[in-house]
Structure 1
Amino acid sequence: MATPSDSTPFHALTEYIALPRVEALALSPDGRSAVLTVAALKKDATGYERSLWAVPADGSGAPRRLTRSAKGESGAAFTADGDLLFVSARADGDGDEESGQLWVLPAAGGEARPATRLAGGVDGIAATAEASERVVIAASLLPASDSLEADAALRARRKEKKVSAILHDAYPVRYWDHDLGPSQPHLLALDLDDLADTIAAVVAETAEEDAADADAAPASEAAASHHEPYPATLPRPRDLTPQPGRSADHAEAALTPDGATLVVSLERHEQRSGRRVIVRIDTATGEQQTLFDEGGVDYEMPAISHDGTRLAYLRTEKSTPQGPTDYELWVADLDGAAARRIAEGWDRWPSSFVFDADDSALIATADSDGRGPVFRIPLDGSTPAQLTHDDFAYSHVAVDRTSGALVALRSSWVVPPHPVRIARDGAVTPLVTPAPAPTAPGTITEVETTAEDGARVRGWLLLPDGASADAPAPLLLWIHGGPLNSWNAWSWRWAPLLAVAQGYAVLLPDPALSTGYGLDFIARGWNSWGDKPYTDLLSITDAVTERDDIDQTRTAAMGGSFGGYMANWVAGHTDRFRAIVTHASLWALDQFAGTTDGSDYWQRIFTPEAMLEHSPHRFVRDIRTPLLVVHGDKDYRVPIGEGLRLWSELAEHHADEDGRMPHRFLYFPDENHWVLKPQHAVVWYETVFAFLAEHVRGEEFVRPELLG
């Protein structure tokens, strides 16, 4: 029987992928306006276009679109004067741009204009200054280049000769879904008040370009090696990290209010691993000073106070097989002196933090009990206070210095990210948004149980409309990745409401290794992934299937990444589920640890004995449940070899004489750890739901049309 919720976007995959998505938030210096990055489906439904929207930060008014271009915009940030910065690959009027450049949209009005013209483009905005027009950008340069002009010429030469080869002299060679090199990431300082916008500057630049063209040889090879001058009308970037190697691959940076000092977390390599250090850089001279560097310790996430005198950062001792280590919050003077730890008894891991309006505390987010609240952490050593107490997870928190209020994005498993204002007393006011929340099918409730060792294990249960003792719903156990993670925030990639719309109840549990429950809860599963994480999952599944609105005879399990590992482990240790979906999954831990993009970490947190003992591949002969194996070829975090070996060994042990078996393998040649292209997301869900319908509901398998 049809219900009112049958009209939600989650009942049709084409409607779901067409939902607009708020991805980021930036707050203007005066606190009056928040700028949202919004992704909207392209007309051909094969990707997303991003644009910037302004919304009033007090909860009034209506959204106003700021940018329109075929290439889209991202990485929004504000200058001290309120000009809006963003990165876009839109053409700047001087030819097509293949890579994104930094653009400036004046606060006073007018057209956006480019502030860079780097041959390799701008990777992102690393930091802006509160009281200066200086900005630091991240951009990649070829290691043999000694200038911006030389970099452009060498790139042109490689392109002309169609050379894609990369020569490495250090580990790693790839990350997540892309190859590293041949260029190296740099941090470049830029003075936006040098952005010349006069007739004289344009005339001078044209004369320079004409002179350079006259000197160039006509032959294509000579032309490709010719050094065209960097535009005189644009501020010339200053390299703050010359010859960086891979040290700035994941740089985290903060600028002092006057823009004079950059504090950045960089990677110091050690053989095939490394440690994070915090370095102070003079943005005028490039002079560097290492503030914090300690063997076996990572220093990350620097944040600078509004008065420019203090530095906050994260200190983490590297974990070993003996157990996880804590995330420690520290503060120090800007020169690194008087360093001290704060919130020492706070058993949570901060995921972000900024200084409060008066610099007397940090405003932080952290996973906590299946949510992601905002906390205020005083610098005087007193107890952290939780500011938000709802069932949401918060991100992109910005401080309004005029009022002390906060502006952020928040989400849950039934509400996508949306902008809100948080008053000093914790009261939350939703802001207007160009992407209003869609109607969610079903309901969400909190569930928990007690594990065999007495630990509390909790999760979220999403129930479809109409689930009751008279019509119990089939159950889908959905296992999160990480494993240091929590089911607390919306994900466009993992959308359990789509399964709810199909009539499934979905259990989202946080077993051992999950964050938000303290270090001891994580330690329960450390170096033993197949132990407490597995028994916790079965315990909470047992508790949920005792409900009279759940059909305990029709259950399935699924997960991706670590969740895929656990799905494989479940398949080899119980036949209680009718079907299992294993996406981007770890199968043979010894093989995975040496082929993933960061092998040192995985081999450092396991003993050799535990890695073997807890490897799912050892139990392939015991698998009795049909598996849907899913893997993308561009997955460098869990390489395709895991999926190929799993499929090969399933065939070796479970195929009949004709090579047939109940398992299936959904392969994406051009997707990575996740399936991100909207047309492929549709195929993914169609295949998963067809597989579940076949084995959980006893229906005939319907092959998705576009799989041929």
Structure 2
Amino acid sequence: MSSEALTSDIRAEAPLQQAPATPFRDLDRYIALPRLGSLALSPDGSRLVTCVSVLNSAATEYVSALWEVDPAGERQARRITRSSKGESGAAFARNGDLYFTSARPNPDDPAEEAVPALWRLAAAGGEGRMVLSRPGGVAAVRCASDADTVVVDGQVLSGSDGEEDDAKLRAARKDKKVSAILHSGYPVRFWDHDLGPGEKRHFILQESADDAAATQTVDDEPSGSLRNFTEWAGNALMETAAELSPDGSTLMVNVRRPLPRGDARSVLAAVDTATGGWRILLESPDTDYTPGPVSPDNRTVVVVCESVSGPETVPSVRLGLLPLAGGELRPLAADWDRWPHPAAWLPDGSGLLVTADDGGRAPLFCVDAGSGSVRQVTHDDAAYTDVVVSPDGRFAYALRSSYLFPPEPVRIDLSSGDTTVLPAPAPRPELGGRLEEITTTVGADGAQAPVRAWLALPEGASAQNPAPLLLWVHGGPLGSWNAWSWRWCPWLLVAQGYAVLLPDPALSTGYGDDFIRRGWGQWGQAPYTDLMAITDAAVQREDIDGTRTAAMGGSFGGYMANWIAGHTDRFRAIVTHASLWALDQFGPTTDVSPYWEREMTLEMALENSPHLHVQNINTPMLVVHGDKDYRVPIGEGLRLWYELLSRSQLAAGADGETPHRFLYFPDENHWVLSPQHAKIWYTVVSSFLARHVLDQEAELPAELGL
């Protein structure tokens, strides 16, 4: 599909005025762009709320606020919360009140330590009112659609006996500056945060009718209290999901069931919100279960069933329907070769709205609850998330993005699939380039596999002015380049004249289980072949300069960058971020070692480990790693850096000089998230590429102190 077709397909729907010039040529303008996330719809369908993050006044962090968007698309969006600490987690109660979390100061005790507390905006209007605050904070808020039940999440210290005791223990740790955590199980950390000593619990909000109906006054104190109805949990709710039934009587959760060697299975449980009693509904040694939404009649829950993978067993994700009263799990759309994410039931219970990666997009689908037949609702080149449904079942609302625009709120006609862009808190940024789609095939006749990619091109790229090419490999590896990413934004490099290739090689989702199977346990084989094939297809274009190319990636994409470096000299520079280097070392040190041990045997890991090919690396490499990265621990970056300097063909000479570079972030994690560090990241990457790909010198950030 041409860039013109992509543009006309989506942009024609947007009534918003475009910015006069692209912000992607200026990192300060880029990091200041508003960023939308999450949607909540009021029970009567008249109010739609989204969360918008913007820079604080010092441009050092993002602060979120709640904005109301008109579901009818007639009124401009308006901001409804404002504080220096920001707000998030919006959820509508049955009466139309809006609950949210915020670490804004307690108006009755400004000196109190700011932790996320529960706040409420009355449906009738007025100022936000703090409902409750606790030293351990509150997290997610869930409101029953047909009852007055409100469930919030929070952390408790495992040794505490009630809320008062929990507060005392936390105060003692803080006063004595104790941060130590004593573990008796696995895991001990996850992605970017340490686990413990707090344990996750679910609470019922208890608030009198008079308190709930009151408006904020100067002398008001927080009026709510919490009832812990999961005291039995221990650490069984660690990193789990939950879904509240419409009548508020049942919370569906996936409980973590420990296994030998630090492994665990995710089993499905139903918790009675009144008594705290719980029962296991599904448990299997071969499947992890996660709850989806409960049907409008409170009788059936959607279950996401993910098969347990192994070195020779490819995972699959399927849906099932399970009676809450007990009974057999009924597969739903079992033959659909995609990985669905359930979003919401239709109000009459006849079907389920889901999203799924599909061919470089993530459309909205409707699955018939009776037959299991799947109907694709949206047909544009975009990805849909945060889907909610109108009470009459005519419309769905979602955040939609693609590589042409960041997330924006839209209304979807569920009958026709027509999509309308709603007036948003911010207009789409002007890209300053065009987007096209390219494809190729790999394999011998009769066993050919298609490989596709998005190609972002700068303005003016042509046969007379071909652009240098940057191959950018996605992470995962079970993922797809199909939605806007603020962290991995190709347009910042397009603005500097590069064409950026975003391919989906073997192991990518959205192409069926067989496409994943091609690369399973063989990361250095089919994925590498696919990447080289789609690069070949790109450089054959007249508007691409095949003599000036580079490769980069993060996480699994960083692994592939390392593998590429040891297996070809075709690229003039390689950037590797948060990358796997020595697979035998990585396995026992990552935060999810049992999963890794199931994915590859030691022999497979060594066969596919980039570190065994360091002596072949003849390409300048920029290594980037954060010390707080728990998924790919810093040891990977440290070892890669040392072995590049000591064993690659571009090792440091007698004078210590080398073309390799190491960009280290002591306080960043798997992602580089703080705004100023993001600027550093892109500036250093751009400077490195300019030197080796464009034969130009570019200034480094003064803040590096060089």
Q: Same fold (TM over 0.5)?
A: yes
Matched, 1:261 2:250: yes
Q: Distance in 2 between the 1:197 and 1:390 partners?
A: 43
Partners of 2:19 and 2:428 within 8 A in 1 = no
How big is the shift at 1:478?
Answer: 0.4
Say which SS state the counterpart of residue 309 (structure 2) adopts: coil
Q: Partner residue of 1:190?
A: 205
Q: Distance in 2 between the 1:194 and 1:169 partners?
A: 43
Runs of 5+ in structure 1 lacking a partner? 207-230
Matched, 1:446 2:437: yes
How big is the shift at 1:60?
Answer: 1.2
Q: Distance in 2 between the 1:195 and 1:439 partners?
A: 50
Say which SS state the counterpart of residue 211 (structure 2) adopts: coil
Q: Partner residue of 2:516?
A: 522
Q: Partner residue of 1:227?
A: none
Say which SS state the counterpart of residue 278 (structure 1) adopts: strand
Structure 1 residues 535 and 195: alpha-carbon distance in aligned structure 2, compared to 1, 3 A threshold: farther
TM-score normalized by the length of structure 2:
0.93
Q: Partner residue of 1:55?
A: 69
Partners of 2:292 and 2:342 within 8 A in 1 = no
Q: Partner residue of 1:223?
A: none
Q: Distance in 2 between the 1:92 and 1:696 partners?
A: 54
Q: Partner residue of 1:601?
A: 595
Q: Which amino acid aligns with 2:58?
A: D
Q: Partner residue of 1:24?
A: 38
Matched, 1:676 2:676: no
5 Å matches for 1:174-323? 174-193=189-208, 196=211, 234-271=223-260, 272-323=262-313
Q: Partner residue of 2:417?
A: 426
5 Å matches for 1:276-675? 276-424=266-414, 425-453=416-444, 454-653=448-647, 654-675=651-672
How big is the shift at 1:98?
Answer: 2.3
Q: Distance in 2 between the 1:55 and 1:577 partners?
A: 46
Q: Distance in 2 between the 1:489 and 1:566 partners?
A: 21
Runs of 4 or more off by more than 6 Å in structure 1?
A: none
Q: Distance in 2 between the 1:643 and 1:194 partners?
A: 56
Q: Which amino acid aligns with 1:492?
A: W
How big is the shift at 1:50?
Answer: 0.5
Q: Distance in 1 between the 2:346 and 2:413 partners?
A: 13
Say which SS state the counterpart of residue 573 (structure 1) adopts: coil
Q: Which amino acid aligns with 1:574?
A: T
Matched, 1:117 2:117: no
Matched, 1:40 2:54: yes
Q: Distance in 2 between the 1:597 and 1:450 partners?
A: 36
How big is the shift at 1:92?
Answer: 2.0
How big is the shift at 1:299?
Answer: 0.5
Structure 1 residues 403 and 293: alpha-carbon distance in aligned structure 2, compared to 1, 3 A threshold: closer
Q: Distance in 1 between the 2:601 and 2:488 partners?
A: 32
Q: Which amino acid aligns with 1:146?
A: D
Partners of 2:245 and 2:293 within 8 A in 1 = no
Q: Which amino acid aligns with 2:531?
A: L
Q: Distance in 2 between the 1:575 and 1:629 partners?
A: 17
Q: Any idea what the Cα deviations from partners look like across 1:487-525, whole Å, max 9, x if unmatched?
A: 000010001000110000000000000000000000000
Q: Distance in 2 between the 1:238 and 1:403 partners?
A: 34
Q: Any idea what the Cα deviations from partners look like across 1:25-70, whole Å, max 9, x if unmatched?
A: 1111111221010001111110011100001112111111110111
Partners of 1:366 and 1:516 within 8 A in 2 = yes
Say which SS state the counterpart of residue 547 (structure 1) adopts: coil
Q: Any idea what the Cα deviations from partners look like across 1:567-603, whole Å, max 9, x if unmatched?
A: 0000000000000000000000111111111111111
Q: Distance in 1 between the 2:251 and 2:419 partners?
A: 33
Q: Distance in 2 between the 1:129 and 1:381 partners?
A: 28
Say which SS state the counterpart of residue 416 (structure 1) adopts: strand
How big is the shift at 1:403?
Answer: 4.1
How big is the shift at 1:190?
Answer: 1.5
Tell me whether 459-468 or 338-347 shows the greater mean CA deviation.
338-347
Q: Distance in 1 between the 2:77 and 2:167 partners?
A: 40
Report the number of matched residues: 677
Instruction: Work out which of the residue numbers 121, 125, 130 in structure 2 matches 1:105.
Output: 121
Tell me whether 609-618 or 320-329 shows the greater mean CA deviation.
320-329
Q: Distance in 2 between the 1:628 and 1:197 partners?
A: 56
How big is the shift at 1:694?
Answer: 0.2
Q: Partner residue of 2:145?
A: 130
Q: Any idea what the Cα deviations from partners look like across 1:215-237, whole Å, max 9, x if unmatched?
A: xxxxxxxxxxxxxxxx8x63331
How big is the shift at 1:117?
Answer: 1.9
Q: Distance in 1 between the 2:252 and 2:224 partners?
A: 22
Q: Any idea what the Cα deviations from partners look like across 1:127-166, whole Å, max 9, x if unmatched?
A: 3201112111110001111110000011111111111111
Q: Which amino acid aligns with 1:108?
A: A
Q: Distance in 2 between the 1:477 and 1:336 partners?
A: 51
Q: Distance in 1 between the 2:507 and 2:114 partners?
A: 42
Q: Partner residue of 1:219?
A: none
Matched, 1:700 2:697: yes
Q: Distance in 1 between the 2:133 and 2:60 partners?
A: 29
Q: Partner residue of 2:10?
A: none
Q: Which amino acid aligns with 1:346?
A: W
How big is the shift at 1:352?
Answer: 3.4
Q: Distance in 2 between the 1:314 and 1:378 partners?
A: 16
Q: Which amino acid aligns with 2:230?
A: T
Q: Distance in 2 between the 1:123 and 1:35 partners?
A: 18
Partners of 2:36 and 2:407 within 8 A in 1 = yes
How big is the shift at 1:262?
Answer: 1.2
Q: Distance in 1 between the 2:283 and 2:674 partners?
A: 40
Q: Which amino acid aligns with 1:423?
A: D
Q: Distance in 2 between the 1:326 and 1:649 partners?
A: 37
Partners of 1:375 and 1:386 within 8 A in 2 = yes
Tell me whether 63-72 or 327-336 shows the greater mean CA deviation.
327-336
Q: Distance in 2 between the 1:474 and 1:519 partners?
A: 34
Say which SS state the counterpart of residue 196 (structure 1) adopts: helix
Q: Partner residue of 1:215?
A: none
Q: Distance in 1 between the 2:687 and 2:19 partners?
A: 22
Instruction: Work out which of the residue numbers 66, 73, 96 in structure 1 matches 2:80.
Output: 66
Q: Distance in 2 between the 1:426 and 1:476 partners?
A: 35
Q: Which amino acid aligns with 1:547?
A: R
How big is the shift at 1:278?
Answer: 1.1
Tell me whether 319-328 or 459-468 shows the greater mean CA deviation.
319-328
Superposed CA RMSD in Å reads 1.9
How big is the shift at 1:382?
Answer: 4.2
Q: Which amino acid aligns with 2:102?
A: S
How big is the shift at 1:447?
Answer: 0.4
Say which SS state the counterpart of residue 565 (structure 2) adopts: helix
Tell me whether 633-642 or 445-454 shows the greater mean CA deviation.
445-454
How big is the shift at 1:543?
Answer: 0.6
Q: Which amino acid aligns with 1:98?
A: A
Partners of 1:87 and 1:102 within 8 A in 2 = yes
How big is the shift at 1:689?
Answer: 0.4
Q: Which amino acid aligns with 1:117?
A: S
Q: Which amino acid aligns with 1:245?
A: G
Aligned-pair identity (%): 53
Matched, 1:150 2:165: yes
Partners of 2:122 and 2:213 within 8 A in 1 = no
